[in-house]
Amino acid sequence: MSNKPDCIFCKIAAKEIPAEIVYEDDSIIAFEDANPQVPVHTLIIPKDHYDSIADNVPSELLAKIFSNVANVAKIKGVRESGFRTVVNTGDEGGQTVHHLHVHILGGAALPIHMGPAD
If one counts every other C-beta atom within 10 angstroms of the C-beta of residue 23, the result is: 16
Q: What is the 3-state secondary structure (H, E, C) of 87-102?
A: CCCCHHHCCCCCCCCE
For 74, list phi and psi in degrees, rounded to 5.
Answer: -65, -45
pLDDT tens column, 30-88: 999 999 999 999 999 999 999 999 999 999 999 999 999 999 999 999 999 999 999 99
Domain boundaries, the chain: 8-106
Q: What band does 16 get if pLDDT is binned at 50, 70 and 90?
A: very high
Supply the residues annotated as catalytic: 101
Let me know if domain 8-106 sits in CATH 3.30.428.10. Answer: yes
